[in-house]
């Protein structure tokens, strides 16, 4: 896979660490950390982020045991990822599996345009935090800078920039997998379903609800835009929308047929144009030679 190795320090500055959390309560502590992210302009929508984090906590506490917790949410951040760390000397009740109060909170908010990011980050965190000597060092730092230095030792693999895909192409990917699942042999099914669930985790409920509806009704939900034309209904989309689809991470819907629109991959468009020109050539040559068009058309069409 196309990954690059990086350190947790790349996303965590000392200013993102609260060495002595004032809060003694789980929800308040999360809010305290979010407030600091708002102040640092790393997130803009505190309430939405809080709701997502609390929803996730209600599903199952993100406390790992051993005094650690990693509350997280996938929300449109200002950047790609926003991390805040809070330490509490007294500890906070986090409904931990081992019942221990949490003394270090690592809060992660990441952008939906980075599918699977949290899994990569979490794998790095887990392999570091599982070692008792690393936890000992984390809990025994004397100040923010020292804590930052220890946390910066955490390594993880991060998807390369060019692997970052937007939500529209995630929808397209999901559609491809749903179609493959329909005719998959039993032994491939489990893997495909796992892949499907991973992608679904990265997409908002409202997007998915509409996606499922379209898949049910038409067998597909996402249409490519080629030369400004929706491939599903063959109607032009506005020039403005066509260029936005190319450039932004927002989701667009065809005003005519209601499908989700995704920019066609450039190399694919180029290949199709070559193919089209190749097919048209015999007819064009026949015309030039003064032969009637009909003769050219009767030639067997190569596929």
Residue 230 as a binder of Zn ion (CB under 5 A): the answer is yes
Query: Within a 10 A sphere around the Cβ of 189, how many other Cβ atoms?
Result: 12
Measured in degrees and rounded to the nearest 5, phi and psi for residue 98 equal -95, 5
Residue 286 as a binder of Zn ion (CB under 5 A): the answer is no
Among positions 233, 253, 283, 296, the unique one binding Zn ion when judged by CB under 5 A: 233
Residue 256 as a binder of Zn ion (CB under 5 A): the answer is yes
By beta-carbon proximity to Zn ion, the closer residue of 164 and 257 is: 257
Minimal distance in Å, beta carbon 207 to Zn ion?
17
Among positions 126, 150, 226, 257, the unique one binding Zn ion when judged by CB under 5 A: 257
By beta-carbon proximity to Zn ion, the closer residue of 248 and 256 is: 256
By beta-carbon proximity to Zn ion, the closer residue of 257 and 286 is: 257
Minimal distance in Å, beta carbon 259 to Zn ion?
5
- Per-residue burial over 199-235, b if 16 or more Cβ lie within 10 Å, else e, is bbebbeeebeebbeebbeeeebbbbbbeeebbbbeee
Residue 241 as a binder of Zn ion (CB under 5 A): the answer is no
Check the CA dihedral 267-268-272-273 and report its sign: negative
Residue 147 as a binder of Zn ion (CB under 5 A): the answer is no
* E strands present in 196-300: 222-226, 229-230, 252-253, 260-263
Residue 232 as a binder of Zn ion (CB under 5 A): the answer is yes
Q: What are the C-alpha distances in Å from 160 to residues 73, 165, 246, 272, 297?
A: 21, 10, 20, 28, 49
Binding window for Zn ion (CB under 5 A); candidates: 52-60, 176-184, 256-264, 274-282: 256-264
| Interface positions with Zn ion (CB under 5 A) | 230, 232-233, 254, 256-257
């Amino acid at each position: 896979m196309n990954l690059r190795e990086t350190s947790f320090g790349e996303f965590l500055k000392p200013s993102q660490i609260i060495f002595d959390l004032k809060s003694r309560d789980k929800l308040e502590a999360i809010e305290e950390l979010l407030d600091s992210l708002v102040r640092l302009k790393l997130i803009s929508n505190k309430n939405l982020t809080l709701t997502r984090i609390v929803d996730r906590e209600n599903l199952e506490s993100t406390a790992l045991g051993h005094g650690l917790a990693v509350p997280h949410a996938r929300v449109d951040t200002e950047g790609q990822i926003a991390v805040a760390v809070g330490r509490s000397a007294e500890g906070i009740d986090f409904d931990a599996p081992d019942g221990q109060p949490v003394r270090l909170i690592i809060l992660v908010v990441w952008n939906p345009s980075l599918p699977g990011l949290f899994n990569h980050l979490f794998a790095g965190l887990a392999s570091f935090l599982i070692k008792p000597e690393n936890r000992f060092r984390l809990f025994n730092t004397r100040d923010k800078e020292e804590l930052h230095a220890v946390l910066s030792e955490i390594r993880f693999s991060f998807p390369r920039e060019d692997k970052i895909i937007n939500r529209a192409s995630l929808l397209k990917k999901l559609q491809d997998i749903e179609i493959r699942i329909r005719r998959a042999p039993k032994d491939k099914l489990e893997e495909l379903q796992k892949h499907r669930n991973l992608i679904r985790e990265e997409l908002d409920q409202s997007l998915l609800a509409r996606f499922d509806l379209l898949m049910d009704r038409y067998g597909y939900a996402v249409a490519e835009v080629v030369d400004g034309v929706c491939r599903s209904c063959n109607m032009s989309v506005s020039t403005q929308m066509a260029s936005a689809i190319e450039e932004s991470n927002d989701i667009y819907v065809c005003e005519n047929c209601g499908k989700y629109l995704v920019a066609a991959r450039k190399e694919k468009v180029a290949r199709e144009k070559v193919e089209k020109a190749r097919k048209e050539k015999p007819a064009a040559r026949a015309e030039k030679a003064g032969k009637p068009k009909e003769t050219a058309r009767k030639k067997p069409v190569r596929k």
